């Protein structure tokens, strides 16, 4: 079958350019006046046609319309001339070929192939998201599984730091300050349940003891530190590449 006009097989339907059809039919009326008049025969935008920009040959791109094969057949029939007859017979042959068992099978296979590709892509995206979220889940799981208090040295170890370094960072971040040898939270954090003070009896050589207060972190506080340090681009070792 000789190709009189270029057709597109898109979204399971056949379409073609209204401008190219206008040119083939050798319509005397200017395209911008002719196409609206054709639409008066009951054709609906988005159902029978949609506007597109045609490729420019040097000037600004002009408006074209992608029309369905059914619309093209009716327009060809309306012309009542030899060109219209040729176009209509051409469209009927294309439609017959499109609806042949061979073409239907090919479309079904192509549809199945695209579905498989979409599923494979979706699975790859899902795997990527899981791999990105897993380190955080692993570290948070470690925190949430433990109900005990932890000292700053244990938390610092998670980040590959010393207790002194982490305490210093938290000081500069405005979280805590040191008083009487003990690190204390600033007032804005004191009632959040992030820490708990323990009393430690330290024996002296002369047989007496001194009492010292030691700050330990709750698991809630540990999660707070995780989010705080993450905003500073400081991640626990388990989340680093």
- pLDDT single digits (tens) 24-80: 999 989 999 999 999 999 999 999 999 988 765 566 778 899 999 999 999 999 888
148 phi and psi, to 5 degrees? -85, 165
pTM of the model: 0.45
Q: Are strands 182-185 and 195-203 parallel, antiparallel or unpaired?
A: unpaired
- The tokens for 150 are 């932890």
Q: Which residue is associated with the tokens 């093209």?
A: 72
- Which of 240, 230, 219 has its CA nearest to residue 135? 240
Say if residue 145's pLDDT is above 80.
no
Of 158, 119, 14, 124, the C-alpha closest to 73 is: 14
DSSP, res 45: B
User: How is residue 79 written in tokens?
Assistant: 């012309």
Residue 97: its pLDDT value, please? 86
pLDDT in tens, 93-130: 988 888 888 877 877 787 788 888 888 877 776 766 56
Rounded percentage of the chain residues whose pLDDT exceeds 70: 83
User: Hey, what's the torsion of the CAs at 160, 161, 163, 167, to 10 degrees?
Assistant: -130
């Amino acid at each position: 079958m000789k190709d009189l006009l270029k057709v597109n097989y898109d979204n399971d339907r056949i379409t073609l350019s209204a401008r190219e059809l206008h040119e083939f039919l050798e319509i005397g009326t200017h395209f911008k006046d002719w196409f609206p008049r054709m639409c008066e025969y009951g054709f609906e935008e988005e159902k029978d046609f949609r506007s597109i920009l045609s490729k420019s040959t040097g000037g600004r791109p002009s408006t074209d319309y992608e029309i369905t094969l059914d619309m093209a057949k009716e327009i060809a029939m309306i012309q009542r001339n030899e060109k219209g007859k040729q176009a209509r017979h051409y469209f009927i042959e294309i439609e017959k070929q499109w609806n042949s068992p061979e073409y239907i099978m090919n479309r079904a296979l192509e549809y199945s192939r695209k579905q498989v590709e979409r599923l494979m892509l979706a699975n790859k995206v899902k795997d990527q998201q899981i791999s990105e979220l897993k380190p955080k889940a692993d570290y948070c799981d470690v925190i949430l599984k433990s109900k005990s208090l932890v000292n700053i040295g244990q938390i610092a170890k998670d980040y590959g730091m010393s207790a002194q370094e982490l305490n210093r960072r938290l000081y500069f971040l405005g979280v805590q300050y040191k008083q009487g040898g003990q690190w204390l939270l600033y007032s804005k954090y004191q009632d959040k349940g992030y820490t708990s003070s323990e009393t430690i009896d330290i024996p002296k050589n002369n047989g007496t003891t001194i009492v010292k207060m030691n700050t330990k972190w709750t698991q809630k506080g540990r999660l707070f530190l995780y989010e705080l340090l993450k905003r500073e681009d400081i991640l626990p070792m388990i989340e680093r590449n």
